Each structure stands twice: as structure tokens, then as C-alpha cells.
Amino acid sequence: MLVSTFELLVKPQFPKAANLPATIPPSLKDSIDKLSRNVIQGYFLTLSNINAFDVTFSLVFTIVSNPPVNIKELVAFLDVDETNILANLEPDFAPNKIRFTRTIKAGETGLFLLQPNILKEGILARANFEVRGYVEVFISSLSTGYNSAKLLLTPEHRGTFYKSLDTEGPKVQLDQIAYSLPTAHGGSLFELTFH
């Protein structure tokens, strides 16, 4: 079942001055360059199992941007019970799909995060990382004992802006943004079935 779109970024907030149209005056190009910061943006999904039984679910991310992303350029976490665990992303059947499968206990709520792996060499320095696509959720084929379940899902993007990688200098200029994403059907309650 479709959940939402997603966009992962390590990019400048505005185009670089060299990429702006030649018709823009040089003084305006300089102003834009001085205002611009880079952003690291990730996809966050709050998941609540409102059933009286454990649910094994899969999130499938279909990447539609080119070129195809290397799965090692992404990192995912799941926060349940105030414990951040590294989420195991796996390639799916199609080359542009990745999958995350997890069991969530009855009545449990967790926060899933998918973001660019900023610890991978060069991603922050190049600041030219952009991945877009859409997210689907399924009851996993690993589930046993039931064929339907209800989950509350709330997707959002969160981003951190920065001016410089020099964390000791005065120009880091950190700031944050968060905004909710509409779901494919307009609500948070997802009724999943397994056939």
C-alpha cells in the first residue's frame, strides 16, 4: 500500500551562483550565494501498531531519481523504547528498490529514519546528493497467524541546514526544518492485508 513520497538530500539550499541564468545581475548572484546554506534532509516515519498482536511489516522504497543510488550511501535507524538501532536495509527484487523489514510489538510505537549516509566519504563535501521516490508498506511474508493488521503511519521530512563543515568556526549557522508529508490516501490509519 502506498504511504508517501520521499526526498533525501545533501544539497545547497539555492542553486550555486555559477548555475544561475546569465540574465541575473552579478550582485544578485553574490547575494544568493551568501544566503545559501547546505541541507541534510531525511525521511522520518512514525509507526504505531494498534493491534493486539505483533506485526511484521516491510517498508519498500522505490527510487525514481537517476542514477541509481548505492545502498551504502543510505543509512536507516529505528527508534523503539528510546533505543536507536541501525536498520538493516536490503536490496529488493528490482534494482531501484530497497526494503526494510521489522516486527513491531502489539501497542508499540517506533520512529523510522532513512537519510543520506553523511559518514560516507565525500557526501558532505560534494553536497550533491539527491534521491527521490515513493514508499510502500506491506505485511511481510514472514508474518504468521493473521492476514490483516492496522498501523498508524505519519511520514515527514526533517532537515538540518549548515553553512560550513568547520564546526569550530563561527559560520556553521545550523538550523532545522520539519514538515509533514501527505499520505497517499489522506489519513494515518493503514489497513493492510496479506494474500
Using alpha carbons, select from 54, 68, 141, 128 the residue that is nearest to residue 98.
Answer: 68
What was the pLDDT predicted at 81? Answer: 76
Q: Is the pTM of this model over 0.85?
A: yes
Phi/psi-derived region of residue 185, left when phi > 0, alpha when psi is between -120 and 50, beta in every other case: alpha
| pLDDT number for residue 168 | 60
- Residue 116 is predicted with a pLDDT of 95
DSSP string, 37-64: -EEEEEEEEEEEE-SSS-EEEEEEEEE-
What are the start-end ranges of the E strands in 13-142?
38-49, 55-63, 74-80, 83-86, 90-91, 97-104, 109-116, 129-139
Quote the pLDDT of residue 182: 95
Instruction: Write down the pLDDT at residue 70.
Output: 84
pLDDT at 82: 73
Could you check whether the bond before residue 67 is cis, i.e. omega within 30 degrees of 0?
A: yes
Q: Per-residue confidence of the chain (195 residues) as pLDDT tens digits? A: 999 999 999 998 877 767 777 788 877 877 777 777 889 999 999 999 999 999 999 999 999 987 677 888 999 999 987 777 888 899 888 888 999 999 999 999 999 999 999 998 888 888 889 999 999 999 987 776 678 899 999 999 999 888 766 656 566 667 788 999 999 999 999 999 876
Would you state the pLDDT for residue 146? Answer: 76
Q: Quick check: 60 and 116 in contact, CB under 8 A?
A: no
**pLDDT score of 180:** 95
Q: What is the pLDDT of residue 155?
A: 98
